[in-house]
Structure 1
Amino acid sequence: MTQKYILYIGTRSVNLERDAEINAARNNGLDIVLADSAIADYKAYELTHLIQTPLTDEDQAFNDILAYVKQHDLQIAGVIGWTDPIVALVARLSAALGLPGTSPDLAHNVRNKANTRRLFEQYLPEANPVFAIVNDKNSIWDAIEKVGFPCVLKPPGSSFGRGIFKIRSAEEAEQQIANFYRTVRPENDPTYGFYQHEFIVEQELIGSEHSVAGMVVNGQPIILSIVDKENDLTLPIQYQNITPSLLSTEIQYKIVEMAKQAIPLTGINWCGFHIDMMVVNDQPKILEIGGRLGGECINSHLIPLSNPALNPYDCIMEVIQGQNPFTKDEYYQDTMFRAGLRALLPLQPGCISSINGIDAIKTHPCFREFTQLRYVGDQVYLPAEKFNSYVLGYVVAQCEQTQDIGEILEAIADLLDVKVIPPGA
């Protein structure tokens, strides 16, 4: 019998998710062909087929991967990507291999956030905040005048809040525009190299932030979960996810209905999706859509812990092969427990001099998983200074429906005692 392979284009960087992603294929009797820009981190997984290719160079990666598959005569059953920057590459590879997936042309409806805004402006205007698309520096002031203050500047090809700059008044506009252009350069982060010809000026929305996790099966959105997010705007950083949502039934219904309208408009198919939303005055607005499963342990841990009968990683292995593992299109209310992820943060940037309390965290009755990212001697930087370098680690917890998972995560975070020597001290 010919071995079936799933072609992985990268993985998530946090080991809790990476382990779950690798195990998903193996648990379903599938082998993995994995392509990534660097492959050293995958040696421990003992994968037979590793392809080192620059994923930020889409054409080069496309050619390298197809050449490898052909050279080794591999039977690829499905293609999956786990992060935003390679959604278009995954679509191209799926089409080239004759496999289920998003049309390469339509992938840019979600990869390019400006395209998403244009699409909704025409077909789902209630999903958009006030926005304007800027194609050159000369038109930026016209865009700001249209949107008003406060507003944000956003690069159309990045994710996870990278490169977003707020402008609260005309007095700070010049400086923030300069900061924006200085930051969103490919040499600072490869994701800024996508869709450099334009960017978005957008109304800053004030409300509560949430995400919808799901998959698309033959054009049909399947809603798996609504996740409540918490942000520390002083840093700024997103530090907590919990599911099921604590929003009212009415607002959750509005979110689900908007998601069910939005996903078919984008045209993404046979893949996961992740919609970030803001609820403003009881009305949802879409911040962005990812044409892949969301990260932050939502699909790897939180959904299975809240609903043990539903494992998104197992399901996605079938979906990318053109199969439908679902019996209905909504699962967000089918929870037995509450689950949450908490980012553990220092009190200030600097050099970590001591970390205590990890053993106490692991003995908490609601503790389920922990991964440590920073150690004594490491430097931690504010997000504005260096992306993704402030979090010390992540903890996953689970509790009964009658308990408050937010309070439990707060209590767990309080068990950690970290001392940091500030810069220049």
Structure 2
Amino acid sequence: MPKLLLIEAMGNTGEYVLDAARELNVEVIVVTHQDVHDEWYSETLKAKIAADAKLVFTDFSDSEGALRQLAELARVEGVNGAVACWEFLTPLVARLTADLGLPGNDPTRALSCRNKRIMARAFAENGIPAPMTVAARTIEEAYALVRTAGLTCPVVVKPSEQSGSWGVSVVESDEELATAFTTAQSHLFQMPHGIPLDPHVIIQEYIGGVEFSVETVVAGGVATPLFPYDKFTTGGAIRAEFGHTVPAELDEASVRTLQQAAVAAAEALGITNGVAHTELKLLPDGTTRIIELGARLPGDHVVALMRQARGIDEAKIYVQLALGLVPSLAPTADTAAGIRFLTPPRGGVLRSVSGIGTSAAVAQSRLTVQPGGQVRPPGDNDSRVGYVILHADTAAEVNAAAAQVLTDVTVEVD
């Protein structure tokens, strides 16, 4: 039986990878912090690990020590592949697989898939269409670099290494830049693992257009893009994701343009064996700009949406690629699916969520914060209190049903 190292199963992709490994008859060793397992893992995830996997603890805040420990563990256990479900650990996995001679991505470029400052530089060096970007350690340096680069408001301010839309602001004036900069630089350790983060803040030109995501599968250096899908974000100064629809309804030329851009971005960042989640915008003139790329599975339950809409299980693909197998990418369904996240009007204590309704398109609804629980003010992905998954014949039907759900639902907070 093949063995797979699953480096940090926390997040909504860990369960999907464990399910895929079980279906593929692959033995899994899950590696995490003990306190993360005890305090952050859901009961469902703990149960899946207890039933189907071996559990090992390490300290990811000491990356060199963790690398040595995991390399020794992999050799002793006879591990055949390794994957990360937590984006911050994808560079560690690239180094580990290279050291072990296992399928993986280019370790010399792996940090460019995680650090947006290094990513922007790699895009520029490889001619990838992306927003103009500067990176600064201080607000004084930021103002100087913005002037030198000729950037004008609006601009996007974000941390170099955070995720989940945390600390991202659209800035409309020079006066707002200082506040946004301070917010972006306010957390320099990734929690709950204590991993130190790059203190640089990046400032990018604001790109209009419509945002999409594309998953790219790379097997032995050959990249195959899947279909683009919609990504919906809030407007205003703070941009948080509130949903996705799989697939997007686009003409063939737009689909090809987005797919070609996603493949070029993956190649520029050294994705040689694995998956790439790319976020990009389609402009009115038909051109694209790459916003960012992660060498990981998509979050937000997109794995489930793809499986439901097109019959493609990207978690299973991810496991197969890690083991050196060439997966089938042929769709087995032709429908659409979507997810919309429920957020509170303000921070406080959640009282209730009501009004989701009984539309035939609603396939599942779930609260991720129970009544009586504390909720964050809206502004990033951590403010979500639940989600609704929808399924219909077409993306238009999914989007219409989703719009009705968001209109009808009421999130009450004390």
Matched, 1:289 2:293: yes
Q: Residue 59 of structure 1: SS of its match in structure 2?
A: helix
Partners of 1:20 and 1:322 in 2: CA distance: 19
Partners of 2:395 and 2:208 in 1: CA distance: 29
For the 8 Å contact 2:169–2:239, the answer to whether it is kept is no
Equivalence for 2:14:
18
Partners of 1:63 and 1:240 in 2: CA distance: 39
**Structure-2 change in CA distance of 1:74 and 1:190 (3 Å):** closer
Equivalence for 2:374:
379
Equivalence for 2:305:
302
Instruction: Select 2:154's aligned residue among 150, 154, 171.
Output: 150
**Structure-2 change in CA distance of 1:415 and 1:55 (3 Å):** farther
Q: Residue 76 of structure 1: SS of its match in structure 2?
A: coil
Partners of 1:347 and 1:296 in 2: CA distance: 20
| Pairs aligned (count) | 401
Alignment of 1:86-235 (within 5 A): 86-125=89-128, 127-135=129-137, 137-145=139-147, 146=149, 147-181=151-185, 183-186=186-189, 193-196=196-199, 198-234=200-236
Equivalence for 1:366:
361
Partners of 1:395 and 1:62 in 2: CA distance: 39
Partners of 2:316 and 2:177 in 1: CA distance: 47
Which stretch of structure 1 is more off in the superposition, 103-112 or 397-406? 397-406
Percent identical pairs in the alignment equals: 21
Equivalence for 1:410:
403
CA shift at 1:9, angstroms? 0.7
Q: With structure 1 as the length reference, what TM-score do the two structures score?
A: 0.86
Equivalence for 1:391:
384
For the 8 Å contact 2:241–2:381, the answer to whether it is kept is no
Q: Which residues of structure 2 form unaligned runs of 5+?
A: none
**Structure-2 change in CA distance of 1:226 and 1:56 (3 Å):** farther
Which stretch of structure 1 is more off in the superposition, 334-343 or 84-93? 334-343
Partners of 2:308 and 2:334 in 1: CA distance: 8
1:225-281 per-residue CA deviation (whole Å, 9 max, x = no partner) reads 211111122454211100111233322221111112221121112111100112233
**Structure-2 change in CA distance of 1:277 and 1:170 (3 Å):** same
Partners of 1:278 and 1:353 in 2: CA distance: 37
Partners of 2:395 and 2:202 in 1: CA distance: 42
Structure 1 vs Structure 2 CA RMSD = 2.5
Q: Which residues of structure 1 form unaligned runs of 5+?
A: none
Matched, 1:81 2:80: no
Partners of 1:18 and 1:153 in 2: CA distance: 30
1:28-66 per-residue CA deviation (whole Å, 9 max, x = no partner) reads 001110011222334312144211223343223223323
Equivalence for 2:58:
53
Partners of 2:139 and 2:409 in 1: CA distance: 46
Q: Residue 353 of structure 2: SS of its match in structure 1?
A: strand
Equivalence for 2:259:
256
Partners of 1:188 and 1:149 in 2: CA distance: 32
**Structure-2 change in CA distance of 1:357 and 1:167 (3 Å):** closer
For the 8 Å contact 1:219–1:267, the answer to whether it is kept is no
